[in-house]
Chains A and B, each alone.
Chain A
């Protein structure tokens, strides 16, 4: 890393990128850099940080909308929202701790650039579902905007959402506008103990087929549950299958009874009241059960909930693995021993058989440079991917190689 640029205004960012376009200098875009340890390492000659693009430019609590400059720390956004009894619906996950970085250092731009959503996604949708508008500069040094600040907007193609999950390879965002929601009055967590993976996923699915609006549905096999910080839960030596309800108090109480009635065949349920519920899900949000560890790698696999346990046991035939299931089972965080190829061949083959996609989240830089970190694409998708990249960044200077080699 060499030259670090800290533009403080859209035009400055545009100016810096224009200079790089002219000299063909590759750029690495970082927010706070909290996810730098993820993805393929970027060879940037110029580093552009959004750290000086800070501040909340619009907040209308009565319209559930906020705009912020891309470098605004997530912690600041969440504090402002909390002061008005509101929150981000998708509970963005913090990968800092698990990748060996600091906790809570994410920027709002990076949250959308990586589309990293947390447990509440099962009810409200992903980060991408809540992004309403963006401003940014592409690899042609053009300043552009897309979307807007209103909830419903189909004017032109949906570039806004199309940029989520592009990891800074299409454009550097300078401002994002997104939808927020009110904090629920209260919450509860219902926990079932000792279920094997397949029964646990069956339980989570049964709960989510009911109109009780489950807002968190996770399963932690016993060895993973033992890593929790929660003093009561970590010492049980049992798997933990947890459901969260959030609503006004009487609705939470009524729905909890309905759930417990339907799920009673799975055993007796423990309950975490509101404050403990906040702590439990905050812990999961930091991925505390998959702590940083140089001896292991971390994969993130997206699949159908009902196939998830089979997928995990299929991988276990090839290597030791610990899984933590989120999103009712449709998201697997998988920890496997370090290996030069990160277990890529087996993990990708098994995932292909069961349907879904896998991304390598944590590995040493040498490993990340050597294997395909993001899911390889089908030939037509790859062709479209190259086309899209060229449309935004024809010289290939924005985060080159971050998602795919030669792109």
Chain B
């Protein structure tokens, strides 16, 4: 699985390695720089493990000022920079190039301020997603976006990828929960965007920076919304004999005016794997399993679950099991939450992330099965059904080069299918290197030009997170780098 080419490393920079390391050490201290082979290896890949490349060196700043010093230096010396949080990106977003400095944010993980009355928290970017909720849960609050990787992933990574989670049907994704950012621009200048008040001033730079995949600057602090925790949250499991029935049931629930917090979907192969691993009590003889969760006060969730079950009955469910206790809820979720881990125990897998309009679900699922069969591969589907975000997991053997390549090709076909039915290449994992070469499937040359010019506004020399998001051929042909803008 190594079909995407990375940009050629800059020879001159590689040759200056020793002096660059010395300079960085002088800037942020010897203990802030990792230069020996073994240490650098720890940063050679993210969760898209098929791609590996150790960086020139790794810098571990302790403050915004440290980040500023490093970036000013790298910018002046034409050295590429790859920001990195926890390295859980599934699209190769944090993959280094041989000539780049990785800036790792692990030492910047403090909570700076919590303000319960105004319902905000300000944190450093290297804090984990879960630690934010941990910091406010005693007071009855939580931070809403909850990627399954929340134990490890950082808010800096979440901001860069505009990450989502199981609860985003109700609470939105990262961009809907960020109020302000402190960011270091490529020349070392520190900029504050928005703050602990509604609407950022002027153009919506928050919108542009969230989801910019580490290519606009290094985010060092974030001010986030926190939300009061509902008294109770309860799921119901609904099993169906066809994916059509499950899809229609999701549409009917949403069409009825109920917006659950989460609607998760698993197909038969996914159910089998999750059940074998988590013993969640999932039915093994259904084609599709929905987990629908509602929240509110105790009496409200009872009523909402009853309404949902009533709606589901018109679609002839094989299984209806509503949670009756907190333990029961935990058991129902356990299988779904463990889906990736469970799959990883039985096989290497390639996790896709396209989004589709819900109405197209049955045809998309049958096409996915067909595509994988054509490539002689097995597939299991988990799916954030409420918002159309599909995660087909293509099973393959990473030690078999041919099978790896087939997995990558099948994945590309699935993503093209998502675009063809009116959806998109990626719902929450980002483009990175993985989907970079498919961008032309979704966007016209002028769409891409509009995006690349914005990159040039923030990073005229294209030093930040090189080789990601845009097809190298488009980039090379565009003349967009390095000069920001020659028109006018």
Contacts and interface: CB of A to CB of B under 8 A. Distances in A.
B426 A166 contact: no
B425 A155 contact: yes
A149 to B, nearest CB: 6
Interface in B316-361: 355-359
Contacts of A64: 254
A330 interface: yes
Contact of A251 (B211, B296, B435, B485): B296
Contact of A129 (B162, B176, B256): B176
A156 B387 CA distance: 19
A183 interface: yes
B163 to A, nearest CB: 8
B171 to A, nearest CB: 10
Given A128-B204, A387-B484, A62 B172 contact: no
A314 interface: no
B431 interface: yes
Nearest to B443: A156
Interface in B420-479: 422-431, 435, 439, 442-444, 446-451, 453-458, 469
A115 B202 CA distance: 11
A162 interface: yes
A158 B208 contact: yes
Given A150-B424, A381-B193, A403 B208 contact: no
A62 B255 contact: yes
A126 B449 contact: no
A356 B197 contact: yes
Nearest to A250: B303
Nearest to A138: B450
Contacts of A154: 161-162, 173, 211, 426-431
B124 to A, nearest CB: 20
A67 to B, nearest CB: 11
B47 to A, nearest CB: 16
A194 to B, nearest CB: 22
A394 B485 CA distance: 8
B134 interface: no
A380 B299 contact: no
Nearest to B435: A155
Given A142-B450, A158-B162, A63 B195 contact: no
Given A143-B446, A151-B387, A159-B450, A302 B457 contact: no
A166 B140 CA distance: 37
Nearest to A84: B255
Given A63-B251, A355-B197, A403-B202, A156 B469 contact: yes
Contacts of A403: 202
A211 interface: yes
Nearest to B210: A158
A205 B116 CA distance: 9
A247 to B, nearest CB: 8
B446 A250 contact: no
B231 interface: yes
B138 interface: no
A341 interface: no
B89 to A, nearest CB: 12
A49 to B, nearest CB: 24
Contacts of B359: 60, 62-63
Contact of B196 (A150, A210, A355, A378): A355
A193 interface: no
A20 to B, nearest CB: 15
Contact of B299 (A126, A151, A250, A378): A250
A115 B199 contact: yes
B203 A166 contact: yes
B119 interface: yes
Contacts of B228: 208-211
Interface stretch (B14-22, B184-192, B270-278): B184-192
Nearest to A140: B487
Given A150-B357, A154-B428, A211-B230, A62 B201 contact: no
A344 interface: no
B168 interface: yes
Interface string A302-323: 1111100000000000000000
A146 B442 CA distance: 10
Given A148-B424, A403-B202, A159 B451 contact: yes
Interface in B56-91: none
Contacts of A378: 191-192
B195 A391 contact: no
A327 B198 contact: yes
Contacts of B195: 355-356
A145 B447 contact: yes
A61 B425 CA distance: 23
Contacts of B211: 154, 157-158
A111 B448 CA distance: 26
B260 interface: no
B404 interface: no
B252 interface: yes
A262 to B, nearest CB: 12
A93 interface: no
Interface string A22-63: 000000000000000000000000000000000000001111
Contacts of B446: 142-144
Residue among B169, B196, B444 facing the most chain A CB atoms (10 A cut-off)? B196
B229 interface: yes
Interface string B110-127: 000001111100000000
A205 B117 contact: yes
A61 B256 CA distance: 10
A18 to B, nearest CB: 13
A165 B355 contact: no
Contacts of B439: 155-156
A150 B355 contact: yes
12 contacts: A126-B198, A149-B357, A156-B443, A157-B451, A158-B162, A165-B203, A209-B119, A303-B197, A375-B202, A384-B457, A387-B484, A392-B450
Q: Top 3 closest A-B pairs, CB basis? A: A161-B207, A387-B457, A394-B488
Given A142-B450, A153-B355, 15 more contacts: A145-B447, A151-B388, A151-B389, A157-B212, A159-B454, A166-B204, A211-B229, A250-B300, A251-B300, A305-B117, A330-B118, A374-B202, A380-B185, A388-B457, A390-B485
Interface of B: 115-119, 140, 161-162, 164, 168-169, 172-173, 175-176, 185, 189-193, 195-199, 201-205, 207-208, 210-212, 228-231, 251-252, 254-259, 296-297, 299-300, 303, 355-359, 384, 386-389, 422-431, 435, 439, 442-444, 446-451, 453-458, 469, 484-485, 487-488
